[in-house]
Amino acid sequence: MQHLKLFVTGHKGFETLLFHELRQIASSSGAVLTKVYGGVQISAGIESVYQICLHSRLANRVFCELAEARVENEVQLYQAIYQIDWESHLNARDSIAVSATSSRSKLNHGQFVALKSKDAIVDRFRDNCGSRPVVEKNQPDIQVHVNIHHNQASISLDLSGESLHRRGYRLEHSGAPLKEHLAAALLTQAGWCKPDSNVSRLVDPMCGSGTFAIEAAMMAANIAPGLERRYFGFNKWLFHNPDLWQDCVDQARQAVDMNPDAKIYASDYDASALEIARANAKRAGVENIIEFSHQQVADLDLVATQGDTLVICNPPYGHRLQGGQDLGQLYSDIGACLQHLAPAKLAIISANPDLLHRLKLKRISRKDVKNGPLDCLFAIFETAGEDAGAELASSSPRIADEVAIPLRNRLTKNARHIQRWANKNGVSCYRIYDADLPEFAFALDRYQSEIAPEVEWFHLQEYQAPTSIETDKAEYRIRIAADVVKDLFSIPDDQLFCKIRSRQRGSGQYQKQDHRGEFYQVREGAASLLVNLSDYLDSGLFLDHRITRERVYHQAHEKSVLNLFCYTAAVGVQAALGGASTVMNVDLSATYLKWAHENFLLNQLDDETRYQFLRADIVELLKNPDSFSIPRNFDLIFLDPPSFSNSSKMQQTLDIQRDHEDLIKQAMKLLAPDGLLLFSTNRRGFKLADEIQQSCEARDISHATLPEDFKRNPKIHRCWELRYKD
């Protein structure tokens, strides 16, 4: 087994930090790494396993995948586990433990999956060896983990044995401490021990059991976090190489530097907590690197130092502290503490983010973090001393402009209302603002990540300013708008995407605005969908058609669906998930058809006999359906053409007001006798032709398909249900 297929997990939300750490750890071994949701996939040899278990401060588990299999019932699961060559991994009399997780699968009970998997392993040994492994839940010789997602099982060995956050030094604690790998991730996020950092001193004024200070000291002294652990999941693994492992341990010991340049201070008002912290530091071997002191945050007194100071803390949560001290006052004391340590930076994980304003500091970043069951915010602030207040005021001059005040007020009001509605109705992507104020002509949409729900992106689309407004003034106002959005929603630059929206024609009609090729996964109803917020004028998901797509989902059951001008096929996906018998998606753009296909695959809609994608000029297709082998009996047709198009790929221009009558009549010829055609357009001032209203049973559903977040702009789209007249 030269190359192992590894999956390394860490604290949720820190996959990027974990990826960079593991890449550095395994850089010399030829490992191939890929960041995925929940962790990092690695193809590497056994030495990389040893190095990760020894040196990773951010990892939680190291899984080695033995097999993958499609399992939809207990028989398939049993067979998949039984056929693995377990005799090459453990001896018949070794002890084992089996754990399991399952999501979105027919086998949805983890304990049942674990039990059946254990039975398969035991039965194989009994059949082939005449004896069987024993089950031992506490530090077994071999740990097996089975993960089933969308009926796809991954069977792995847990080579970490137990969570790598258990360094072994923390035998007791005070209160509810951070796990060691989360503390290390937060220190890394804050820039501690970063090679190009000027931070030379770390202070934890509420150290509790000392986790931040101890992890910081181990990082500064280059002490491998797994160096003193005696139990790993590979200890009794038959592929284990004890000599190679010992070489890795010896190298790690030789790399320790017990005289680092960094200075680390830990204090707490609770004397008993300090004693616990000192004992933990001694077990970690860093008691001489940390200076402990018994003092209140407000009384913190440290000598001046060369370089910057990083203050990091995990304040208590609740409303009042012991002795009746107000928690809000504690936050004020933390802010004051930072001022007299300047130049300094504060990194704080808080379960009371509504109190962060009491710090009176300039926030430079934020990140949503789970600390056990608690939803917390990890925020980083900075100060430059006594002039910090003036610096903060001058750092965003455009936000201070009085013209920004009404925009901020409107955005605040809209966001409060729309967010309540969205939370109540399970909507994660919605419009917040749409040119509500004439001087700020832009639309603002919010998208939430389905993979990491704590992550959100904002999509600001500027409408082209009227010629009566000077270009410089228009550009200045959109910069104000961008600054207000970032400040109001507390988001960094990389979570706001700005676009200029104008009517595009000819070769510019489908031109990219950027070339990042970065897609984000969002959720709408039953569907997972991909959006691209950087490269195109639109994101790939028209939010104003949310209700229309929901209607398609409910109407498509056991029906054949034709999705014309399908774009990224969000409508087609909803139809398929709603139980459509077939879905044909048609568009002229190869780019959008590829995107559409990826949306289908993302939802496990991979039956090529039911879900088809056709690249065609739809105007020509409707004129000559036989030449495209298009059937004429679709139960449901969705027709949502662009308002205007003169793409060079089309044989003629398209103007929806001029051409919609012919399009609808030709599309109706492909409709089954009792079928339904949904026609929609975003053309302002559009009027449905009288001939269509006379020849078809036409029902205007524009108002019924207008979502709550678009009601400020009721003319955003028009939509009709069209049927044959009886």
pLDDT per position as a tens digit, 594-643: 999 999 999 999 999 999 999 999 999 999 999 998 888 999 999 999 98
Distance CA 103, CA 113 (A): 12
Residue type present at position 87: E
Provide the token pair at 217.
Answer: 């000291």
**Each residue's pLDDT tens digit, 232-271:** 999 999 999 999 999 999 999 999 999 998 999 999 999 9
Kindly give, in sequence order, each residue whose CB lies less than 8 Å from that of residue 419, ignoring residues fewer than 6 positions away: none
Locus of tokens 């297709």:
621
Say which DSSP state 356 is in. G
Cis peptide before 397 (omega within 30 of 0): no
**Domain 398-502 and domain 529-724 have a common topology:** no
Averaged pLDDT for residues 38-45: 94
- The fraction of the chain above a pLDDT of 70, given in percent, is 90
* Other beta carbons less than 10 A from residue 400's beta carbon: 13
Give Cα separations from 550 to 35, 546, 685, 704 (angstroms).
Answer: 33, 6, 25, 12
Which H or E element spans position 288?
none
Half-sphere exposure of 145 (CA within 13 A, CB side): 18
| 3-state secondary structure at position 628 | helix
**Each residue's pLDDT tens digit, 391-429:** 333 334 445 457 788 999 999 999 999 999 999 999 999
- The neighbouring-strand residues paired with 193 are none
Phi, psi of 56 (to 5 degrees): -75, 125
pLDDT over 90 at 649, yes or no: no
Output the pTM of the full model.
0.57
pLDDT at residue 132, rounded to an integer: 94
- The neighbouring-strand residues paired with 246 are none
Q: What is the dihedral of CA 495, 400, 344, 351, to 10 degrees?
A: -60
Distance CA 87, CA 100 (A): 21
Which H or E element spans position 59?
strand 59-70
* Other beta carbons less than 10 A from residue 117's beta carbon: 24
Quick one: pLDDT band at residue 434, thresholds 50, 70, 90?
very high
pLDDT over 60 at 463, yes or no: yes
**Each residue's pLDDT tens digit, 333-343:** 898 888 778 78
180-222+257-392 CATH choice from 3.90.25.10, 3.40.50.150, 3.20.20.60, 1.10.1740.10: 3.40.50.150
- The neighbouring-strand residues paired with 442 are 462
Beta strand 634-639 with 560-564: parallel, antiparallel or unpaired?
parallel
| Fold of domain 398-502 | Transcription Regulator spoIIAA (3.30.750)
| Fold of domain 4-158 | VC0802-like (3.30.2130)
pLDDT at residue 537, rounded to an integer: 81
Phi, psi of 59 (to 5 degrees): -75, 155
Higher pLDDT, 394 or 451: 451
Lowest mean pLDDT among 227-236, 285-294, 504-513, 621-630: 504-513
Where in the chain are the domains? 4-158, 180-222+257-392, 398-502, 529-724
Q: Closest Cα partner for 544 from 392, 353, 684?
A: 684
Tell me yes or no: is domain 529-724 CATH 3.40.50.170: no
- The fraction of the chain above a pLDDT of 90, given in percent, is 69
Quick one: pLDDT band at residue 166, thresholds 50, 70, 90?
very high
Q: In what order do the strands lie in the sheet with 142-149?
A: 32-36, 39-44, 4-10, 59-70, 152-158, 142-149, 95-103, 134-135
Provide the token pair at 324.
Answer: 């009746």
Distance CA 164, CA 231 (A): 10
